[in-house]
Amino acid sequence: MIENTYIKNSKSWSEFSSKINLLIENNKKLQAGKIYEKCVQLFLQTNPKYQAALKHVWLLQDVPKSVREKLKLPNADEGIDLIAETNQNILRNNDSIFCKKVDRILSFPNPISRT
């Protein structure tokens, strides 16, 4: 999986970010997006704060059929990148947005939150 290679071979956030920016500049936004989505998934699965709160974190294409049906997820990509299930069985969506320059934390309402 190319996503894992990009992440594994980056020694710092700065290096990873530079690689993503280069892909974007070379009109490979879809590839950059897939790599970044995988990075976010791995972060949520390994960061102790989120690891303690989340039971599952799926990339959209890996969401089990039963969860897809429960959430009525569309087959077409409509901007949802990840689905996470909390330890309280609440399902939440995540739209992973890569920003070239980050000087503050962005947060947005979560449109899907169902038990």
Distance CA 112, CA 92 (A): 5
Look at residue 114 in the predicted model and tell me its pLDDT: 42
- DSSP class of 63: -
Look at residue 3 in the predicted model and tell me its pLDDT: 85
Indicate whether 97 pLDDT > 60: yes
**48-55, Cβ contacts within 8 angstroms, sequence gap of 24 or more:** 52/87, 53/86, 53/87, 54/84, 54/85, 54/86, 54/87, 55/85, 55/86, 55/87, 55/89
Look at residue 96 in the predicted model and tell me its pLDDT: 72
Look at residue 99 in the predicted model and tell me its pLDDT: 65
What is the average pLDDT value for the chain, to the nearest integer? Answer: 81
45-86 pLDDT, tens per residue?
Answer: 999 988 888 999 999 889 899 988 888 887 766 778 888 888
